[in-house]
Structure 1
């Protein structure tokens, strides 16, 4: 409706064929080629914000089309910039193909800057119709937002913490299963694309941090064992009660309530008191705390730390710069940072050949540039369609590209035959094309996306002929030109599909996850050595390899997101997938847990451990790091070890030496952290709760 309204308004109402062309293709660009996620109102809001970008692309494309070399250089720069903008989240990524089309259209001859006004008027009208239609016609109910999901999970955490303060002071299997389900609702695969907090801004980063910290909190609560003597202790009960209060206040904050300042401060005090009781000197005549109690204290302190992180991140996500909960530094480094700086951090993190966003941007930019060069140098008739074919048919893997090209060529050939017959029968009677076009548009835009790329290309071939038959005297050779253009564009897409990272995100996912575990292993060893030697660091960045692990986490997350967008090719051999039993989310959580735990344990002042405790911590750290390297070697496609199913890791962290007597709390906190990393490795290898684990693996 939008495409037809804009086209007929200018073509027959105002006799402006240039404006008619741009009105139609503006609607096709953002309404058909672009895949902006979200409801109609969300897509309308995104398109409204992109309107200045659309104007700029039309202006730049118009003036750069004066020479082939300037158009080619512009295609390279604009093509890379628009594709690389996908690092900004699902909405920029979805809009990028449509924006590419709005630059491609004016970058081809004729060089007619005098028609720029008509081009902009047509583009604006088409987009205005599209925005109005998306916002007003067939309104869709909005799915639960990520904030509401996080609030629900925080309520679940509050419920779990409350249950842990009453007999039997441990969660039942049903309650653990409920915690698992609440945690799973925050996984990116269960969240609609438009609701995922994937942007580089402070609020999006904080909301993503909220989800990850909430999953950590639920995991730690579910793993907390019952007290060894049946009595949790007043200090432990006080911490868990305050955790429940803070989780409830955090859920209210996520529902646009006030900042959880007071509960946050209360938990800080309760946590400090438990830490002092666990680490402080034993009063004269009082028995020493047994190791089982100290281990439970360490686990409860980790729960408190996760709850504090949830509250701080949620306050930043809701109130931004007006957040009142003290965020400190370290893990909340982005708090108070200007948006341009955060964008720079995101772009710099992906400016390398290991980033799948960088790979995709280079691939599509080079392919579009080659198509524009061929169209300009060889004076390819209707070269615009060859470039558009390159844009729509290039895929991230060679298997997908070849399969897509075969279907597209078959569909285009069928559409060309229909077009040739229709043009021969109707001749120059534009009234026939004017009547048929709206009906064919409805058919093409409805059936094409459902039936696949072959149908879409065939139906679009006929649609193009119906449009251009109303702009210039038609001949049957228009169908021939369309087939030639698609053939050239497909060939260019196939060439760059072979030359530029032909396996897509598959190998990059394994490589990125393997690198993540290697970097995490380095930090585990360095942290264990620092704890054993009593050496604190002034900032998280002082831990050897900390920044490298941060970047490895970013690249692993982007590779995982890209991998989810690559379906198994139809027909022919399937790609070599990473093991299906691998829980990639657990792999990412292991990276984050390594960063957070290292930061917490190395906060000064550190207590110097005795010889036995220091030896135990060092050996246990090396053992966990060894497990990480074992899994890393199984995942790495470039290692000497053949890739395949990763080894199963037992959830129990065996003691390296006899447990030292009289060890300080720091020892048990370190062992608890290492044990949680072993639990992550267990979930990673088994893809979730495995045999013998039951539901205790959220």
Structure 2
């Protein structure tokens, strides 16, 4: 069930078989020890369902050891949920209120990353199970003991039974990228001062390896904590640095700028040191400190120089971007490795490294607060699932559904982020449940009350269910799980074939509730929200282009512009894009390149900070007229694409670019070059606008040709 809910990522046949063995061993061992060894049926029930909840319903990513670590950390939450469910079961209204709150909180915490999102469904079940009658607070100790015993067995099974090899960690990939950076910097620092085709391809491949979706889910630095934020920042900085090195313009005739060798030598030394730091083989930061000094000296010298040629200006501007990206990479890597113990420079960029030194609760609050609104897909999903679970609990309490928690389990495992997905899933689940119930009814009628038969058959049935379900789909999962729960309850109390009938009724009720709330609450999932979020992102990017360029022209201080709206828009757009990857979508010949839109937002944010942070004299109205006109054209184009992306892209093609408002960048800057010599700040702004121009072209290119 859990694999289907989460897209089944990383659950091939071999992996599913290993997980099935571990789950079956832990669940059956806990159940049999408590029921037959200790004669504690309540503890046996909680031991089994705690394993099922965290191993089958949840999808905690990673290897067995990584999953075990997550389960250990979530055990206190499991105790709290079992306790809350036990005491709130006294009345239907209190159980429903608790379900509404617990359902929302556990679903919303998915904003904290894939590990939290993976554990949430299982934790939901640990509240659902005790929140039904009988109201028996005197059994709380037995319930907690059973749940703890089951989780302990599962942790042991995940750790020691059929261990899995771990995928390369993100830190290791970042260290390998640092090695590539050092080699590229060394090559660029000697004649002919350009990268070979092989080195450029190596840089591109190293940058691609750091894309989050190319990394194993458990190893993505997606959490809200300091180290995860810093590691994600290090990956982004490394990708930017590799791109800048691969595209460093050739030196003008007459040799390389005098700052070049020193900067590139410092970048290479710092990258080598950072690679060792990420691998844990070195603890020094001398080279990183030297890089900061060289960067400041080179920037100060360049700021005083009036650059007479576009070629020299573009190379020097790109070289300063290389130094900036290298400083960001080394600083973020140190934060990722050392956390709050990192030795940060006094002149650290507080806008870029705003998270440095902040406590874990503040960072968690910052992440959750960013999604606390109806435009966040995490908020939408939390509202949808909490309302559906509360409705199922209300109906189960009012109508006194036997085994009503099965109806809530159906809601939890079958509700998807889009109404179309939910309908398809429910249809498959009902078919599987019906067939499974027919088989179950026949077996219960034939076996009768012979509990020994059920005990012998349970491990086999459970092994098949947890092996087949993740691979064959939700229909098989629901059918086999029907057989599993029948064999479990047949050992706890006398049952008849009518237990299968109750199972069908509960799944039908839960499925209908899931369909209703799937239709009422954001039925199109992330697809509609992605259009709105990208439109907002591009609009905010256009505002940033206007503000940052005006600042360069008139000399306004960098701190006068507030980029928090752009940051928030980027956060919402990335979460919507991530969810859309797991949703089915119709092919279309006219749609933006959504990933290019995300990169446009990043380039607008970080590029504006580099431009605003660059020292130097203002251009003035005369020399800045060409740059201002160029920026106005780029901003206009961003707004046009935002308007198109915010509607149905299939209804019309992308807006046609106007050459007068959106000039194509050229190697010599052409009409954008101001009369006479220009400061470095001009070329830094021009290079930024060039990169945004390329981003816009990438965004709209797929839409202009059938895919």
Q: Distance in 2 between matches of 1:577 and 1:58?
A: 47
Residue 605 of structure 1 and its aligned partner are, at CA, apart by 5.3
Q: Distance in 2 between matches of 1:651 and 1:39?
A: 48
Secondary structure, in 3 states, of the residue corresponding to 1:267? helix
Residue 576 of structure 1 and its aligned partner are, at CA, apart by 6.0
- 2:369 alignment partner in structure 1: 348
Residue deviations 1:86-128, cap 9 Å, x none?
Answer: 1111111000000001100000111111111111111011101
- Summarize the Cα distance change of 1:58–1:430 in structure 2 as closer, same or farther, 3 Å threshold: same
* 2:378 pairs with 1:378: no
Tell me, yes or no, if the aligned pair for 2:614 and 2:681 is still in contact at 8 Å: no
Tell me, yes or no, if the aligned pair for 2:303 and 2:615 is still in contact at 8 Å: no
Secondary structure, in 3 states, of the residue corresponding to 2:647? coil
Alignment of 1:525-536 (within 5 A): 525-536=546-557
> Out of 282, 295, 309, which is 1:271 matched to?
295
Q: Distance in 2 between matches of 1:358 and 1:548?
A: 19
> Out of 277, 284, 290, which is 1:253 matched to?
277
Residue 629 of structure 1 and its aligned partner are, at CA, apart by 1.9
> Out of 652, 657, 677, which is 2:665 matched to?
652
- 2:314 alignment partner in structure 1: 295
> Out of 46, 55, 68, which is 2:70 matched to?
46
- 2:574 alignment partner in structure 1: 557
Alignment of 1:237-248 (within 5 A): 237-248=261-272
- 1:503 alignment partner in structure 2: 524
Secondary structure, in 3 states, of the residue corresponding to 2:389? helix
Tell me, yes or no, if the aligned pair for 1:620 and 1:656 is still in contact at 8 Å: no
- 2:458 alignment partner in structure 1: 437
> Out of 624, 631, 643, which is 1:633 matched to?
643
Moved more, 363-372 or 316-325: 316-325
Q: Distance in 2 between matches of 1:38 and 1:357?
A: 22
- 2:633 alignment partner in structure 1: 623
List gaps (5 residues or longer) in structure 1.
283-287, 569-573, 691-698
> Out of 624, 629, 640, which is 1:614 matched to?
624
* 2:216 pairs with 1:198: no
Q: Distance in 1 between matches of 2:230 and 2:497?
A: 58
- 1:232 alignment partner in structure 2: 256
- 2:3 alignment partner in structure 1: none
> Out of 169, 177, 181, which is 1:157 matched to?
181
Residue deviations 1:348-379, cap 9 Å, x none?
Answer: 10001111111111110000000000001111
Root-mean-square deviation (CA, aligned residues, Å) is: 2.2
- 1:543 alignment partner in structure 2: 561
Q: Distance in 2 between matches of 1:107 and 1:488?
A: 18
- 2:488 alignment partner in structure 1: 467
- 1:480 alignment partner in structure 2: 501
Alignment of 1:647-686 (within 5 A): 652=665, 657=672, 659-686=674-701
Residue 578 of structure 1 and its aligned partner are, at CA, apart by 9.5
Residue 434 of structure 1 and its aligned partner are, at CA, apart by 1.5
Q: Distance in 2 between matches of 1:85 and 1:623?
A: 41
Secondary structure, in 3 states, of the residue corresponding to 1:331? coil
Q: Distance in 1 between matches of 2:589 and 2:528?
A: 8
Secondary structure, in 3 states, of the residue corresponding to 1:418? helix
- 1:212 alignment partner in structure 2: 236
Tell me, yes or no, if the aligned pair for 1:259 and 1:323 is still in contact at 8 Å: no
Q: Distance in 2 between matches of 1:304 and 1:344?
A: 33
Residue deviations 1:461-493, cap 9 Å, x none?
Answer: 111111111111111111111101000000000
Tell me, yes or no, if the aligned pair for 1:207 and 1:314 is still in contact at 8 Å: yes
Residue deviations 1:154-213, cap 9 Å, x none?
Answer: 111121111111222112333222111110101111101100011111111110000001
Residue 506 of structure 1 and its aligned partner are, at CA, apart by 1.3
- Summarize the Cα distance change of 1:655–1:78 in structure 2 as closer, same or farther, 3 Å threshold: farther
Tell me, yes or no, if the aligned pair for 1:147 and 1:255 is still in contact at 8 Å: yes
* 2:111 pairs with 1:96: no
Secondary structure, in 3 states, of the residue corresponding to 2:678? coil
Tell me, yes or no, if the aligned pair for 2:304 and 2:616 is still in contact at 8 Å: no
Q: Distance in 1 between matches of 2:177 and 2:283?
A: 18
- 1:34 alignment partner in structure 2: 58
Residue 234 of structure 1 and its aligned partner are, at CA, apart by 2.4
Moved more, 598-607 or 103-112: 598-607
* TM-score normalised over the length of structure 2: 0.91
Residue 646 of structure 1 and its aligned partner are, at CA, apart by 7.7
Q: Distance in 1 between matches of 2:440 and 2:651?
A: 53
* TM-score normalised over the length of structure 1: 0.92
* 2:533 pairs with 1:512: yes
Q: Distance in 2 between matches of 1:564 and 1:456?
A: 23
- Summarize the Cα distance change of 1:507–1:414 in structure 2 as closer, same or farther, 3 Å threshold: same
Tell me, yes or no, if the aligned pair for 2:590 and 2:702 is still in contact at 8 Å: no
Residue 257 of structure 1 and its aligned partner are, at CA, apart by 4.5
Q: Distance in 2 between matches of 1:331 and 1:56?
A: 38
List gaps (5 residues or longer) in structure 2.
1-24
- 2:12 alignment partner in structure 1: none
- Summarize the Cα distance change of 1:43–1:505 in structure 2 as closer, same or farther, 3 Å threshold: same
- 1:110 alignment partner in structure 2: 134
Tell me, yes or no, if the aligned pair for 1:23 and 1:125 is still in contact at 8 Å: yes
